[in-house]
Amino acid sequence: MTVNPESNQFMDNYLSRCQIDTPDKIVEFVWKLVKEYRRDIRSVLDLGAGSGNFSRSDVYDSYLGIEVDSKRLGDFQNENRKRILNQCAFFGEDFGGDFDLAIGNPPYVRHHDLSPKWKLELSGILGRALDEKFDKRANGFVYFMCQALLSTADDGLCAQVVPYEWVSRPSAAFLRNAIEKKGWSVDVYRFESNIFTDSKVLTTASLSIIDKSTSSCRWRFFKVSEDLKIKEAESVTGSDERLLSYTKRDKEIFAQRGLSPGSQTVFCLTEKIRKQFGLKVGFDVFPCITQMKTLPPNIDSLDENNFFKYYVLGDQKCWLVSPSSSPSKNLQRYFDSVPEELIDTYTCRKQSPWWRYSPHPSPSILYNSGFTKFGPRTLTNRIGAIAIGTVHGVHQVAEDDIDSLINHLKAVDFERQIVSHSNKLKKVEVNQMNSVIVDWLKRQT
């Protein structure tokens, strides 16, 4: 591939967000497993190699690391078996495509943080090579996985330390489809504890091994304990339940993710800040909810009393500023007071003016998309609050049907049907919730 200046956008985000080394014990664990799949390894490719941690093995003939950050390059001057190229893994000198093994821990960059032009060009290149329509909602590590598969021989092996989410998220479905069409086998080892010492890493990690030498299209899943003991799992969810399906939303009753106006720090205000700027409720600001942990567990309804007691008096971010194109003097004064660095976000940059987000309606039911046990918490939304961020909503439910639907949601064991997001935290995707809603609708007929 030729050099693309847009790769600098990826590099900037990579340097600022993804400079995390793979711990030595995990490197050793990966190589131990790799040797069970292949006894004879001649050439090794490591995309996003960093300082070359994965070069530490005696089982291969040659190792090539690709690293875009010149400050991170490993010093292999006295080792003939090893070399590292300071270049982008996608645009730059062609490093070949016949490696026995592609190993490594590629950078995790959210798709929101990737340049649209970079995504458009590279997704087209990779998609054509895989004969699949590349999903541009895929996060950065998925691009590296695709490049690893394309850079290995027809009977090659890929061993990548990547977020476990790729085995179930719709944004990586195209990659799973490409693998299944080829008949390659996949073994996924999910780490049950956080393998990285850096507290910023919250996503559940896995070692995903894709074997291109087979045609069986076998998928197996394993759990890896904190002391790196391996136990086979019954399914992708880690339980005996199948993954909760994804269903497009019903025309009338549907789940929708929480509003992302640009930055909760800027758009969601406490009562103190609302009063400071003299912002009028119902005109300048509207009730919103960004989290449910403030509410005691026995409360199942967000009414005026609960909202006032636990959010307004509790100094919580509970007022969403209006996206009006003609803000009041007080609201404009607030907008003018916001530091420029706080509005330097993906969403704000797309809006003109920066505060004019696309509003969401108030849902009938509020629910936490994230949970740790059984299923998400639900609330009847009697205050008409706007769902923000990880608080999602179910919309257009008739008043007489709210209790029935909530009881149905509470009876579903989401925990056994959803892939772990980070450690014990699980997240129900919008279209997984829509699947449950559609099931409830069928029962009503």
pLDDT for the residue 352:
92
pLDDT for the residue 17:
54
Average pLDDT over residues 252-264: 94
Tell whether the model's pLDDT for residue 5 goes beyond 60: no
**Contacts of 191 by beta carbon, 8 Å cutoff, 6+ apart:** 204, 205, 206, 207, 224
> Of 81, 11, 85, nearest to 47 (Cα)?
85
Reported pTM: 0.80
Q: Which tokens in the block code for residue 99?
A: 């490696």
pLDDT for the residue 19:
63
Per-residue pLDDT of 383-441, as tens digits, reads: 999 999 999 999 999 999 999 999 999 999 999 998 877 667 889 999 999 999 999 99
Per-residue pLDDT of 144-197, as tens digits, reads: 999 999 999 999 999 999 999 999 989 999 999 999 999 999 999 999 888 887
pLDDT for the residue 188:
96
Q: Is the separation of the CB atoms in 43 and 100 below 8 Å?
A: yes
Query: How confident is the prediction for the chain on average, in pLDDT?
Result: 90
Q: Is the separation of the CB atoms in 243 and 168 below 8 Å?
A: yes
Q: Is the separation of the CB atoms in 208 and 382 below 8 Å?
A: no
Tell whether the model's pLDDT for residue 3 goes beyond 50: no
Report cis status (omega within 30 of 0) of the bond before 359: no
pLDDT for the residue 444:
87
Distance (Å, rounded) from C-alpha 94 to C-alpha 90? Answer: 9
1 band by pLDDT with thresholds 50, 70 and 90:
very low
Query: Over the range 18-44, which residues count as b (16 or more CB within 10 Å of their CB) and which as e?
Result: beeebeeebbebbbebbeeebeebebb
pLDDT for the residue 213:
96
Domains parsed from the chain with CATH numbers: 7-233 (3.40.50.150), 254-444 (no CATH)
CB atoms within 10 A of CB 307: 22
Backbone angles phi, psi at 380, to 5 degrees: -75, 125
Average pLDDT over residues 304-308: 97
Per-residue pLDDT of 69-100, as tens digits, reads: 887 776 665 578 888 888 889 987 788 789 99
Q: Is the separation of the CB atoms in 385 and 442 below 8 Å?
A: no
Q: How many helices (H) and strands (E) does the chain have?
A: 12, 21
Tell whether the model's pLDDT for residue 304 goes beyond 50: yes
Per-residue pLDDT of 12-46, as tens digits, reads: 554 555 567 889 999 999 999 999 999 999 999 99
Per-residue pLDDT of 246-256, as tens digits, reads: 999 988 999 99
Which has more pLDDT, 76 or 279? Answer: 279
110 band by pLDDT with thresholds 50, 70 and 90:
confident
Cα dihedral 212, 217, 218, 224 in deg (nearest 10): 50
pLDDT for the residue 13:
52
Q: Classify residue 104 as left (phi > 0), alpha (psi -120 to 50) or beta.
A: left
Which has more pLDDT, 279 or 70? Answer: 279
Report cis status (omega within 30 of 0) of the bond before 296: no
Average pLDDT over residues 230-238: 89
Q: Which of 131-145, 195-209, 342-356 has the lowest mean pLDDT?
A: 195-209
Backbone angles phi, psi at 88, to 5 degrees: -70, 145
pLDDT for the residue 399:
95
Tell me the C-alpha to C-alpha distance, in Å, between residue 248 and each of 236, 242, 256, 433.
Answer: 22, 19, 11, 10
